[in-house]
Amino acid sequence: MTEMETYFRRQMTAIGATAMEQIGLMHVLVVGLRGVGVEMAKCLVMSGVQRLTLMDDELVREEDVGVNFLLREGDVGKPKSRLMATRLKELSPFTDIRTLPGALTLDLLLNFHVVVFTSSNVSMAELIAYNEFCRAQSPPIGFVWAESRGLFGTVFVDYGAVHKSIDASPLNQVEFRVLTKRTQIVGDTVTLVVREQRLRGHLQPGDLVQLRESPEALGDNSLVFTVHEVVSDSKLVVRCEFTEELETQRDEITCANRLRKVPDRIVTTNHRSLRERMVDAGPIACPLATETISDRGRNIHMALLGVHSFRREFGFLPSKNNIDHIQQALQLVHDTMEMNAQVVLSAQHTATSSRIDEKLVGQLLRCSSSDFLPLSAVIAGYAAIDVLGFSGAMGQRSYANCQFLAFDLLPFAPTVEEIKLDKPAGLHSAQPSALAAIFGSSALQRLRKASPLFIGFGPVCCETVKNSLCLGIGVEAPSISVALTQEDQLVVGREELNAHALFNISSIGTSKRLYLENLRQSIRVIPDLSSVGFDDLASASSVYLEADGLFHRFFVDDQCCAHEKPVVISFIDRSDGFRHVRSVFPHRTATTRERYIPPAMLDNAQIHAFDHVPTHLEVRDDENLLEVEECAQRAVKTFELVFSTAIQNAVECFATKQPLKEKYAGQDSVVWMLWHVIRRGYQAQTFEESLRAAWILLELLPNIMTASTAESNPSDANASPPLVQVDIQIPDQLQLLVSTACIIANSLGLPIPPLPERRAIVVDVAASADAFSLHSNPRTIASILASLESADSTHMQQIVTRAKPTPLNLDDVDQMHLHFVQSLLNLQLARRNAPRVTTFAQLRRILRQPADFPPIVTILGGVATLELIKSLLQTPRSLENLREYMIQPHQSTLCVAPPPMPLAVHSLPLEATRGVALRTIPEQFTRWSKLIIPTTPELQSTSAIVQYLQKKHDVVVHELRFQGRRIAISKDSVFTFCSSSSSTSTSSMRFIFLSVVAIDARGDVIFPPIRITRTEA
């Protein structure tokens, strides 16, 4: 595997190579680098976005350290965007990360596929202007707005009025048989002739077609072309977009004998603008909500409007737990709702209710100037999925009819009346004061003195540890313990960088124990689970476990139940391959082992689900699931027996001069049959002879698989074993045949012929099968045994010397090992009338290969941190879980799963910019350049600024909206305006929302922007 393939191995297993390719084409702009912005940038970098631009001209503040895991205390005062670009580059060397300083003018947006605005100083008016501009482009620019405001936050997505993707899934495809001898390649075109006389009825120029060799099981060698011309009912010309690729795959094209039409099913997404959605938000999904609250999403939406209205009115955000500010914000919310109702009525729509839950909205507003990292991580994960969804790589968006997602933690935090802001002694940073505003000072002190125990260091645990360190959990405790398990590697591997945010390029090959101990002095690493003693559990405030094996989960759960310790568990469910989080606190009831209830009892069980997961627990057929897993493991064991164990045994026999008869004494005689195959295979001098040995192996397959999975009674020495009738027209049999021959040839160092020659050899071997097949030349166990005993020892020594054990490697370059296991699994499933395993990603999941998707890991890490905080606080209110109970009276389960395997969808807006510059500035667009307005005593009012613009820069202000207020200016204020770069007048109105702001010492805006319309002088 290449370095990049190794890095993205986990994600490629989760979403597939096609989705990875689409993601890699994107160029994304992230505006604002606080909690949500940094987590978003991290998700995009680790997900494979290869071009990322960051924009944030602020300097690092002390409170940023508590919400940004990439910052250190010594970074305060440094430029944030440049520092973040450097640190993010350490996470992934494959992303081109740049910074964009200065004002964000509209023409700059033309350089990106998607723009993301996070919790920054961009006003609502500016957001609306940017969104309108993105929608007006052709193709549209994706627009995502994500904000985290203390106890609540939102995500808004807009792909444009019409966003189209092509669903290229291979369903209901029209197929034709190609006459390969008449295939011609000229330049970038390929002329094909088919047997069927019906091309004109099914294909037309512009259609996508797929060329492949038949049968399809010979590998992922399909080639996609565009129909250039349909010459006749049996002849057409197709074109390849990339001439170089066509030249490298000339052999595959000339031997392809199947032509399929890719169905042009257009997946259309219709989104409305932010301006419209601020008046009528439409349906709002609340992924974190479990308790039923009337109009919950709408109340969260109105709370967000209240925050922006308050900042527009007063120039700053509501202070933490300031009741006066909350009341003023509520009044602004009512004013906004009345204005929206009038707009809706004027448009002759049914007006929505103008009532809100003032108590709920007030609780949401009380910490709107704070940034709570766990919630920011959850919001960033969902927003990152929406960003990547623009490429079409993530399939159809689960909340397709909801442009707004709303999040809140009301069941999680105390009310404003319960908070007492007695700042604990010794707290000097701004972040603890933000936590104190949410939880109260006494709760904050408990968190700082807590001693959590982390067992296992998988991706979600890594995120949880990262969040805990940023929040200061355990900072005053003697230590934070991290126990490694057998599932954790001893050293940091390159493939772990894609899922573990605490690791970077410099940590590859480093001992995990040393790396964690050097990360923070307070971290104590326990080398293995067996070293976790009674004192460790007794002194732990709470236990967090990440382990996929049931043994570890049962063991830790039993111990926590015995010690009455709260426990949070993250694991991969074997039934769906997705990660889950389960929390139990206080742990005084049944253990996990006792709660392992049969599926029949889960008919009416309710489970709260995150994105992409149904809102009820589906009862799965565990027997079928176990059967597929058993078939997969049987295929793996067969591979190991044929290519590794049997050869290793033979090598040992000849090395010790032990007769084979003694080595296999008392064992199933099928092993002798297997050695018969090996002897023939490793005498091979050509690929054709390897193929004949593979043919015999396929005939003996049932016996070999029986020997590989269980000890059977010795067979009659004179009996002939049951044989498989080999048919190369069966795709899985042909794939197994070819992959076996290739593995044998690789082991012997024999050259493997190219695909056209390989295909011809298969046909020749099939035609001459009567000469060597066991069907035509039956061999009994006794006869094979006699031939082996009479074999010349010198000759056998040469065979063993050539034979080299081949361990299973699912990452082999030619993917023949994967083909062997896949085809053998599918042959077993076919006998059971079960669906085939069609992709390697699906096969890797069945084989329990690591499969992680960074946005989902980020979401789970945020949720797990919330659960950990609740378990550490142990207050009555904290026992009100964020989600419903799974099975009463047992404890609860929170299920968070990544998207399903995406369809083969290609985003048309993304395809339109493949390999070329994104967009050019439209001719009718007036380009604006930046001007600096000095903060002199003469420029202390809006009228003075307007006169200055008219006199100095020949800019005529047609309309000015500022509510009649004077501008509050400090001597350090800098105003950024934009002016037309051309003095030529235009026939139509041009306007832009300007960032005319003054920033105080804390970086907060102290007055709102001005809208200026440029017209003719």
Cis previous bond, 889, omega within 30? yes
pLDDT tens track for 146-161: 999 888 899 999 998 8
- The pair phi, psi for residue 609, each rounded to 5°, is -125, 150
Domain boundaries, given as residue ranges, for the chain: 3-164+271-408, 170-262, 414-449, 452-616+854-875, 624-846, 928-1014
Ranking 78-92, 259-273, 645-659 by mean pLDDT, the lowest is 645-659
* Contact in structure between 967 and 974 (CB atoms under 8 Å): no
Kindly state which CATH superfamily the domain 452-616+854-875 is placed in.
NAD(P)-binding Rossmann-like Domain (3.40.50.720)
In which element (H, E) is residue 513 found?
A: helix 512-519
* Contact in structure between 285 and 297 (CB atoms under 8 Å): yes
Q: 432 has which bridge partners? A: none
Q: What integer is the mean pLDDT of 76-105?
A: 88
The pLDDT value given to residue 572: 66
Residue 675 pLDDT > 50: yes
State the Cα–Cα distance between residues 299 and 281, nearest whole angstrom: 11
Going by pLDDT thresholds of 50, 70 and 90, the confidence category of residue 46 is: very high
Half-sphere exposure of 965 (CA within 13 A, CB side): 14
Q: Are strands 208-212 and 223-230 parallel, antiparallel or unpaired?
A: antiparallel
Q: Are strands 189-193 and 184-186 parallel, antiparallel or unpaired?
A: antiparallel
Going by pLDDT thresholds of 50, 70 and 90, the confidence category of residue 874 is: low
Q: What integer is the mean pLDDT of 751-758?
A: 80
In which element (H, E) is residue 237 found?
A: strand 235-239
* Contact in structure between 353 and 132 (CB atoms under 8 Å): no
Tokens for 123?
């006003």
SS3 (DSSP) at 193: strand
The pLDDT value given to residue 201: 66
Ranking 132-136, 485-489, 814-818 by mean pLDDT, the lowest is 485-489
33 or 241, greater pLDDT: 33
The pLDDT value given to residue 179: 85
Residue 562 pLDDT > 80: no
CA 399 to chain centre: 17
Q: What integer is the mean pLDDT of 445-469?
A: 89
Tokens for 294?
């009337």
pLDDT tens track for 571-609: 765 544 556 666 665 554 444 444 443 333 333 333 222
The pLDDT value given to residue 964: 37
The pLDDT value given to residue 612: 29
- The pair phi, psi for residue 591, each rounded to 5°, is -90, 170
Query: Could you say which DSSP state residue 982 is in?
Result: S
387 or 488, greater pLDDT: 387
The pLDDT value given to residue 559: 79
SS3 (DSSP) at 284: strand
CATH dotted code for 3-164+271-408:
3.40.50.720
State the Cα–Cα distance between residues 1008 and 336, nearest whole angstrom: 17
Tokens for 486?
């057998």
Amino acid letter at 216? E
Residue 115 pLDDT > 90: yes
State the Cα–Cα distance between residues 889 and 884, nearest whole angstrom: 12
Residue 222 pLDDT > 50: yes
**Percentage of residues of the chain with pLDDT beyond 70:** 64
Taking the whole predicted model, whether its pTM rises above 0.75 is answered as no
Amino acid letter at 961? R
pLDDT tens track for 14-25: 777 777 888 888
**Percentage of residues of the chain with pLDDT beyond 90:** 8
Tokens for 58?
């602020």
782 or 452, greater pLDDT: 452
First CA to last CA distance, the chain? 64
Q: What integer is the mean pLDDT of 631-637?
A: 85
State the Cα–Cα distance between residues 506 and 512, nearest whole angstrom: 13
Residue 806 pLDDT > 80: yes
Q: What integer is the mean pLDDT of 267-283?
A: 84
pLDDT tens track for 290-313: 555 567 888 888 888 888 888 888
Any residues with CB less than 8 A from the CB of 573 and at least 6 apart, and which? Answer: 579, 580
pLDDT tens track for 610-620: 232 222 222 33
State the Cα–Cα distance between residues 755 and 373, nearest whole angstrom: 54
Cα dist. 42→108, 109, 496 in Å? 23, 21, 15
Burial label, 282 (beta-carbon count in 10 A; 0-12, 13-18, 19+): middle
Max CA pair span of the chain? 111
State the Cα–Cα distance between residues 608 and 883, nearest whole angstrom: 6
Going by pLDDT thresholds of 50, 70 and 90, the confidence category of residue 930 is: very low
Q: At what angle do helices 430-439 and 459-471 cross, to 10 degrees?
A: 100
- The pair phi, psi for residue 325, each rounded to 5°, is -65, -35
CA 503 to chain centre: 18
What does the chain come to in residues? Answer: 1017
Whole-number average pLDDT of the chain:
72
Reading phi first (left if > 0) and then psi (alpha if -120 to 50, else beta), residue 155 is in: beta
417 or 6, greater pLDDT: 6
State the Cα–Cα distance between residues 863 and 891, nearest whole angstrom: 17
In which residue are the tokens 């149904």 written?
Answer: 614
For the chain, helix, strand, coil in percent to 5 are 40, 15, 45
State the Cα–Cα distance between residues 88 and 38, nearest whole angstrom: 9
SS3 (DSSP) at 946: helix
586 or 968, greater pLDDT: 586
The pLDDT value given to residue 53: 93
The pLDDT value given to residue 85: 93
In which element (H, E) is residue 696 found?
A: helix 687-699
CATH level 3 topology of 624-846: Arc Repressor Mutant, subunit A (1.10.10)
The pLDDT value given to residue 142: 92
Shared fold status for 3-164+271-408 and 452-616+854-875: yes
> Domain 170-262 belongs to what architecture?
Beta Barrel (2.40)
Query: Could you say which DSSP state residue 643 is in?
Result: I
Reduce the secondary structure of 651-687 to three states and give it as a string: HHHHHHCCCHHHHCCCCCCHHHHHHHHHHHHCCCCCH
State the Cα–Cα distance between residues 147 and 981, nearest whole angstrom: 34
H helices within 233-357, ranges in order?
Answer: 243-248, 250-255, 274-279, 296-314, 323-346
Any residues with CB less than 8 A from the CB of 605 and at least 6 apart, and which? Answer: 617, 886, 887
Residue 221 pLDDT > 80: no
The pLDDT value given to residue 28: 94
Reading phi first (left if > 0) and then psi (alpha if -120 to 50, else beta), residue 194 is in: beta
- The pair phi, psi for residue 146, each rounded to 5°, is -130, 125
Residue 43 pLDDT > 90: yes
Residue 388 pLDDT > 60: yes
Q: What integer is the mean pLDDT of 1008-1012?
A: 40
In which residue are the tokens 């096969």 written?
Answer: 843
* Contact in structure between 71 and 64 (CB atoms under 8 Å): yes
